[in-house]
Structure formats: structure tokens, C-alpha cells
Amino acid sequence: MTARQVARPGVVTITLSGWSNLNEKQLLQKVLRDFEATHPHIKVKYDVIADEYMDVLKTRLIGETAADAFYLEAFAAPEIMLPGVLEPLNSYISEEFNLADFYPQFLQAFQREKIIYGLPKDYSTLALFYNKKAFQSVGLSQPPKTWEQLREYAKKLTIDRDRDGRVDRYGFALVPELARQVFLIKAFGGELIDSNGEAAFAAPESLKGLQLLVDLYRLDKSAAQPSDVGTSSASEMFGQEKVAMAIDGPWLIPYLKETFPQLEYATVEVPIINQKKGTMAYTVAYVMNQKSKFKAATWELISYLTGQEGMQGWTSQGSVFPTRKSVTDALQYERHPLYSPFIAGAEYSTIWQLNENLPIILNNFNNQFISAIIGKQSLADAMKKAQETANKEIALSK
Amino acid sequence: MFDRGLKNFSQPKDALSGYIFMAPTIIILGLFVLLPILISLFLAFYRIQILGDFNYRFIGFKNFIRLTNDERVWIAMRNTVEYVAIVVPTQTIIALGLALILNAKLKGKNWFKIIFFMPTVTSSAVLTLIFLWMYNSNGLINSILAFLGLPTYNWIGDPNVALKAITIMNIWSTAPLFMVIYLAALQDIPESLYEAAAIDGANWWDKLFYITLPSLKSVTFFVVVMGLVGTFQLFDQSYIFSRGTGGPNNSTLTVVLLIYQYAFKSLDLGYAAAIALILALSIAITTLIQRYFFSEKAN
């Protein structure tokens, strides 16, 4: 009977929207409880958007029913970093908040012309996961360090145990999505877009990096797409041992722990391509709704969550990594055997972000890249077509 | 009887009470059907900035010009037409066949009715998820095909097959609805016609072609039109199948899915409204052509 809480005068309730899985939800709720304990004048309503996050969010922003603070992924940020949508945070940030503690590359993803629209709450990068038992079974003792080795190993690791013509385990998991492949485009000096913001990924340098994947799939037949083996993601492929190697994010670690606890695996940095290191990084920020009625309270929440204490609580389980140097040091992730390749990757990673034309470029790339992967047309033709169509659509949408 | 009804209505008092009775329907239809149609007509000629600082400006036919240059519109159109051209005739023939079987004096036909009708009452989202599972590369359908020594397919990942997978699923799930409509119509054909024909020496085929099918003509028109309208609006299945992308390689992109993408992903409402308008026109024209053919034969 006493548990029922009555709103006290002077207490404001603010809403926080995000996406989440069960694990993250429990963790965030714990951090939010800590926040409420130290900030008794604020109550936080945590609202989970289960699916199609950006569609739901945009619809709510238009209808002026969006939460006071919400998650924003870097790649979706250019679409909504518009006047009148997000509250600029510059005036709220104090000396004490220590903005310089953030890794600049993640901070930049949420800035436009020196206006800070969001503060990165965490990031993840890609690293190579490899199945130790599979490696042992074909006599490999070391993970690949270069892409040439990866290619050679992938061939060795592809096996058809019962010789029925259907491969039982492939060497490598191929995810034919732009979100995973931008670093390959850059590996030989290519760029996704040119200085005018138009698609430029069909240049010969860009093709060189992408060709590496096509070769694995078409020439060596040592890689599989998720749908080839009846799965929906690289994580599932790796967990079910349909592949021996996968380039995937840290979210795979808790998934394997829960669903495939028997699997023996390790992580290393993405193999070197063209004598250079490269990987992708994904970052998410907390942003403030410009239509929020409780901006001061919302800022208290955001500054707590992206401050040292809140960020340490949030990133303490390693499925995502802290964007503050001080928290990274405190958690000692660079010494953790599974996490260190991801932390190392942050330095040389390509952040998954573009401009407001990203949806068009993404869609055209993904469509045509698949057709090159399955051999309907050459990579050069496919990319040329994707680039032309994308640029035509960009011109038309202006 | 009809005359009397009309006369009564012509008296103002009765007409008023008639409208009052209809008011809930008129208001709801007006608010949620007519008004949106009118607004979308208006939107199609504007460029609207809806997120952040709201503004809009008249751009004449620009949205329609853009549409003719947009490759994805044509791909979506082609996919949709291909889908309609396969689904509508197939589901109509299957519905008729099933209805004829059920109309024969079968043992336990009520059970068959229930079983056949099951897919139609199941939610299409749930059906699609179940089918996604069965279409899985290592799923039920490929296992059966492999067991029978037939080639297997990557139903979900192969652009050449993905739309066909949705087509098969939809025929299976919508044919029973039309079967029920056919069945009702079949039971309306007087038995005496068949008896008279039997006396004249007609066999089963003669009865089918000279009595059953001609009697079902108006129902067939209804079934085909409803089928067309439904299939032109294919959305949920391809949305779930491709997670909203219309992939692989635009192969499951339908016109309504494209409208959704432009309206809610790109927030380009004016352009989405323009495509919706073209879709509405295509459905209207196809229906008119149908009507022309069906009435032509009637004369």
C-alpha cells in the first residue's frame, strides 16, 4: 500500500526514448535509478521503441509527441539535425562537463557548423571473430593478420563434411550491406561520396576494396551470405558455426554468451588491407528535443548519462564502449582479450555517417551490390549503375 | 417495393431522419476516407518540409515529372503488375475450383471449408512470418523439394525468386476468401436448370460451361475486381519479407511499399502522394477496362 508514489510538487517527469534489447534495458534502468536517486526532483520515464526506430521517431517529432531526450544514431543524424528539431547543446555545456574528454571523431558526428546537437553515449566498432575449434581442425594456429591470409584461411575453413555438394561450414560471413563495407571502399583510397555530396563509390579505387568480397564469394566460394545458410545475420551464422570467421560488432559477445555458451572463439582486429588498418564505427548520441517543456531537467539527465559516472555505468558490460577517454581508462578495456580489438579499432575506424543523401545512396548501393555478389553483373557495372541511379535520384529530390 | 421506398425518402422529414441515421458513417467516411483523398490530391502538387520548421510551396507538376524519371517507380510498377498478372487469374481459378469441389456432395465438406478458410482468417503479418520460416534456405519447403529430388531455392535472398515466394504465399492465403464467395453464388443457381440440362443430355462439362460459368459471371467480375484492388495494394507481405527495403535488389519493391518509403522514411509527402495518385489511377483504369469486357460479353 505504501509503494504507490505520489508526485510531489516540484518534481518533473521527463521521457527518454531509445531502442533496446532485454540486456540493455536492465542496464539502462539501473543507471536511470541511480540518476533518480541523486536527482530527486526529476523522474525519468523510459520509453522503448521496439522497431523501426527512426520512422517512429520522425513521426512523433512531426506530431510533437516525441520524448524530451532520445537516442540518435550517427548515420540518421544528418536527416534530423535541422533547425527546429533538436536543441543545440552548446549553451548548456559547462567547463566541468569536460567536453575535451570525448573522442573528437564521435563528437563531430553530431555537430553541424560548431553547433552541438548531441553527445555520443557509446560506440561500437567491427572486429574479426574466429572460431578456435574450426581453426584447430584445419591446422591453423593463428588468426589472419592480412586480408591475403584471411582469403587463404577462408578457403581452408570451407568444408563439406558429408560431401553432398552442400557446404556445411563456410570460411567467412559476408554481409552485403553498405553499413559494413565503407572501410573497404576507403582501403585503396576510394570514397563513398565526393566533395559535392554525390555518390562516388564506382571509382576504380573503391571497386578494388569491394572486389575482395566478391572474390571470396564468387571465385573461392568460401563466403556465404546470411540468407544462403538460413540465418538472418552474421551473428547467427557465427553462433551456429555456419561460418568460421565473421567481421562483426561487440553485440555478438553477449549474444554468444547467452545463446551459444559452448562456442570457443576469440576476437582480433580486422585484417590489414593494402597495408592499412581499417574498420567501421557506429556511434549513438543522446539528443534533446527542441519542443521539450523541461529543458533544464532534460539537460541534467543527458549530462549525467554522458558524464563520467553515468557513462561508466552504461558501458560497464562491454556490449558498447565509452566515448570518454577517462571512462575507457577506468574500465581498462584495452587490456580485455575480447574487447581490446574493438577499442583499438576506434582510432582508425570509419564512422558510419554520410549526409542527408544517405538513404538514397544506401539503397542503390545495397541493391546493386547484391546483384554483383550473386553474379548477375560485374562489380564495375553494378556500382556504375548504382552510382548513376543514386546521383539521378539525388538531383531529382532537390 | 423500391418505388415506395424512394417516395418515402423524397419527403424532407424522412430524408432528414435518414441522414441522421447515416451520419456516423458519413462523418467517419468523410473524415478518414474522403478528406485524406482530397488532401493527398492537394499534396501531390506541393513540396512539403514537415520535420522541424514547417513550410510548403507549390511546385506544379514537378513531382509527376520526377516520377517519370525515377527508376524505382518503374521497378515497383513492373513488380506490382507482374504480381497482379499472376495472382489474380490463379487465385480466381483456384477459388472457383475449390468452390466446385465443395459444392459437390462431399463427405465432411464442412471440415474442408474450415480448413480451406483458415489462411484467410489468419493475420497476414503472422502468415508472412510463418512463411519466412518455411522459405528459409534450410526450411520446410526446401527440405520437401530436396526430398522429392527437385531443385531448391534461396527463396528470400535470390532476387529472381523472392517475389514469386510472396506470390505463392498470397495465392494460398486469399484464394479461400473468393472460394467462399463463389460457393455462395453456386448455391444460388437453381437445381432445376441442371435437371433440365440433364434431361436434354448434357454431361458434366456441358453443365459447367453452359450453366455454371455463365451464372457466375457477375460474381467473377466482383472477384476479379476485388482481387485486382487487393493485389495492387500489396504491402505488408513485401514489407515483412524485405524488412521494409523492397530488396533483394528491388525485387519485392511494390508501389505501396515505395509510397511508404517516400512518405515515412524520406518524409517526402508530396512525392509520395503523387505516386499514390498514379496508383489510384492505374487501379481505376484497369477496373474500367474489366468492366468494359465483362459487359461486352453480356450483350
B148 phi/psi in degrees, rounded to 5:
-80, 0
> Do the chains contact at B137 and A55, CB–CB below 8 Å?
no
Q: What is the 3-state secondary structure (H, E, C) of chain A?
A: CCCCCCCCCCCEEEEEEECCCHHHHHHHHHHHHHHHHHCCCEEEEEEECCCCHHHHHHHHHHCCCCCCEEEEEHHHHHHHCCCCCECCCCCCCCHHHCHHHECHHHHHCCEECCEECEEEEEEEECEEEEEHHHHHHCCCCCCCCEHHHHHHHHHHHCECCCCCCCCCEEEEECCCCHHHHHHHHHHCCCCCECCCCCECCCCHHHHHHHHHHHHHHHHCCCEECHHHHCCCCHHHHHHCCCEEEEEECCCHHHHHHHHCCCCCEEEECCCEECCECCEEEEEEEEEEECCCCCHHHHHHHHHHHCCHHHHHHHCCCCCCECCEHHHHHHHCHHHCCCCHHHHHHHHHEEECCCCCCHHHHHHHHHHHHHHHHCCCCCHHHHHHHHHHHHHHHHHHCC
Which sign does the torsion angle of CA A308, A313, A315, A318 carry? positive
Question: What residue of B is the nearest CA neighbor of A176?
Answer: B248
Q: Are A80 and A61 in contact (CB under 8 A)?
A: yes
Task: Count other Cβ atoms within 10 Å, centred on residue B15.
Answer: 12
Most trustworthy range by pLDDT among A44-58, A222-236, A259-273, B233-247: A259-273
At B1 the pLDDT is 44
Q: How far apart are CA B52 and CA A268, in angstroms?
A: 43
Q: How far apart are CA B138 and CA A36, in angstroms?
A: 49
**Higher per-residue pLDDT: A348 or B121:** A348
* Cell digits of residue A79: 536527416
Low-confidence ranges of chain B (pLDDT < 70): 1-11, 296-299
At A155 the pLDDT is 95
**Higher per-residue pLDDT: A19 or B245:** A19
Q: Are A17 and A71 in contact (CB under 8 A)?
A: yes
3-class state of residue B48 by DSSP = strand
CA-closest candidate to residue A396, choices B169, B68, B186, B130: B68
Chain A residues in contact with B156 by the CB 8 A cut-off are 227
At B55 the pLDDT is 85
> Do the chains contact at B266 and A359, CB–CB below 8 Å?
yes
Amino acid making up residue A248: D
Of B52, B266, B267, the CB nearest to A84: B52
Chain A residues in contact with B72 by the CB 8 A cut-off are 393
At A2 the pLDDT is 40
Q: How far apart are CA A221 and CA A219, in angstroms?
A: 6
Asked if the model's pLDDT at residue A5 lies above 60, the reply is no
Task: Count other Cβ atoms within 10 Å, centred on residue B212.
Answer: 20
> Do the chains contact at B69 and A82, CB–CB below 8 Å?
no
At B229 the pLDDT is 86
Q: Are B234 and B170 in contact (CB under 8 A)?
A: yes
CA-closest candidate to residue A303, choices A287, A319, A320, A284: A287
CA-closest candidate to residue B234, choices B258, B204, B202, B207: B258
> Do the chains contact at B137 and A228, CB–CB below 8 Å?
yes
> How, if at all, do strands A349-351 and A127-131 pair?
unpaired
Q: How far apart are CA B88 and CA A37, in angstroms?
A: 62
3-class state of residue B35 by DSSP = helix
B230 touches chain A (CB under 8 A): no
Report residue A4's pLDDT band, with 50, 70 and 90 as the boundaries.
very low
- B158, B236, B250, B259: best to mutate for the A interface, most A CBs within 10 A: B250
Question: What residue of A is the nearest CA neighbor of B158?
Answer: A374
Residues contacting A109, CB < 8 A, separation 6+: A74, A77, A120, A283, A285, A351, A353
Looking at residues A299-319, what average pLDDT do you find? Answer: 91
At B7 the pLDDT is 53
Chain B: give the shortest CA distance to residue A173, in Å: 15
Of B137, B244, B264, the CB nearest to A229: B137
Q: What is the pLDDT of residues A175-206, one digit of tens each?
A: 988 999 999 999 999 999 988 888 999 999 99
**Higher per-residue pLDDT: A383 or A6:** A383
- B264, B268, B269, B275: best to mutate for the A interface, most A CBs within 10 A: B264
Chain B residues in contact with A368 by the CB 8 A cut-off are 249
Cα torsion through B12, B13, B17, B23, rounded to 10: 40
Asked if the model's pLDDT at residue A171 lies above 50, the reply is yes
Q: How far apart are CA A28 and CA A22, in angstroms?
A: 10
Which sign does the torsion angle of CA B213, B214, B219, B222 carry? positive
- B267, B268, B269, B275: best to mutate for the A interface, most A CBs within 10 A: B267
* Cell digits of residue B97: 475450383
Chain B residues in contact with A389 by the CB 8 A cut-off are 71
Of A367, A374, A376, the CB nearest to B250: A367
Looking at residues A77-87, what average pLDDT do you find? Answer: 87
Mean residue pLDDT across chain A: 91
Q: How many CB pairs under 8 A join A and B?
A: 70
Q: How far apart are CA A391 and CA A385, in angstroms?
A: 10
CA-closest candidate to residue A383, choices A191, A195, A222: A191
> Do the chains contact at B159 and A366, CB–CB below 8 Å?
no
> How, if at all, do strands A69-73 and A279-288 pair?
antiparallel
> Do the chains contact at A396 and B70, CB–CB below 8 Å?
yes
CA-closest candidate to residue A393, choices B221, B271, B81: B271
Question: What residue of A is the nearest CA neighbor of B137?
Answer: A230
Amino acid making up residue A138: V
Of A61, A225, A389, the CB nearest to B51: A61
Of B51, B154, B159, the CB nearest to A82: B51
**Higher per-residue pLDDT: A58 or A164:** A58
Chain A residues in contact with B70 by the CB 8 A cut-off are 393, 396
**Higher per-residue pLDDT: A127 or B149:** A127
Asked if the model's pLDDT at residue A9 lies above 80, the reply is no
* Cell digits of residue B66: 520526377
Chain A residues in contact with B159 by the CB 8 A cut-off are 370-371, 374, 376
Residues contacting B186, CB < 8 A, separation 6+: B99, B100, B103, B212, B216
B152 touches chain A (CB under 8 A): no
Asked if the model's pLDDT at residue A274 lies above 70, the reply is yes
Which sign does the torsion angle of CA B43, B49, B53, B57 carry? negative
Of B70, B72, B264, the CB nearest to A59: B264
Looking at residues A210-234, what average pLDDT do you find? Answer: 91
Mean residue pLDDT across chain B: 86
* Cell digits of residue B21: 441515421
ipTM of model: 0.77
Chain B: give the shortest CA distance to residue A88, in Å: 13
Q: How far apart are CA A176 and CA A173, in angstroms?
A: 10
> Do the chains contact at B138 and A230, CB–CB below 8 Å?
yes
Report residue A1's pLDDT band, with 50, 70 and 90 as the boundaries.
very low
